[in-house]
Amino acid sequence: MKLYSYWRSSAAYRVRIALNVKGVDYTIIPKSFRLEEHRAGDYLHLNPQGLLPALETDDGAVLAQSVAIIEYLDEVYSQPELLPKPPLERAAVRSMALSIACDIHPLNNLRVLSYLRRRLSQSEEAVNEWYRHWIAEGFVSLEALAARSSTAKRYCYGDSLSMADICLAPQMANARRFQCDITGFPTLRAISSHLESLPAFVAAHPDKQPDAGAS
């Protein structure tokens, strides 16, 4: 498989973790957000959404949207499971994952920050405040959910790895990078520390990518 990825994209980071967890062999095709390579003709033909990541299967099918890709990987490669079996539990895990994928991350995407800077003439300070605001809003609720559902503060739901953890680790990395105050989220911090020690997460880290440091 080929993964169109950008080292700093946290949606791509999620998919890299999922691929590693599932033990899928894949090649990274780096695309630069800042150079707008994701808006160039050849990539846009592959993925009309013009966002990263996209996964190209060995048969040439191209999948977009990180959560859809992770669900696909979980359906095709059954072990280890990224969603529990009972529907209510699956819903709980998806709900935590989507609270990040829908309600935190899209607000802090590079294209949104660029809009704030360029079209709304916001200062770097105002942009950073925006960034931290949406992480804090999202983490308050995610902390409450994880405190209820994590049984050993190693994973978001119960005591096994799920799609919620795959979304949490990249979001926590972003929170640290933007110097968010994360002292109020002890459960999320404990879970993230554990996740960051797992080989599948270590190998997916932005700094370990072939395009690390690229603009």
Contacting positions for its own copies (CB under 8 A): 48-51, 57, 61, 63-65, 67-69, 71-72, 75-76, 87-88, 90-92, 94-95, 98-99, 101-103, 105-107, 111-112, 115-116, 120, 122, 126, 130, 133, 137, 141, 144-145, 148
Q: Which is nearer to its own copies, 122 or 198 (CB)?
A: 122
Sheet holding 54-56, edge to edge: 27-30, 2-5, 54-56, 62-64
Q: Which is nearer to its own copies, 88 or 215 (CB)?
A: 88
Q: Which is nearer to its own copies, 75 or 124 (CB)?
A: 75
Q: Which is nearer to its own copies, 24 or 214 (CB)?
A: 24
Can you say whether the dihedral through the CA atoms of 19, 20, 23, 29 is positive or negative?
positive
Encoded amino acid at 196, one letter? E
Given the structure tokens 């060995």, which residue do they identify? 58
Can you say whether the dihedral through the CA atoms of 194, 195, 200, 205 is positive or negative?
negative
CB of 184 to its own copies, least distance (A): 14
CB of 92 to its own copies, least distance (A): 7
CB of 148 to its own copies, least distance (A): 8
**DSSP β-bridge partners for residue 63:** 55
Report the alpha-carbon distance of residue 86 to residue 94 in Å, rounded: 12
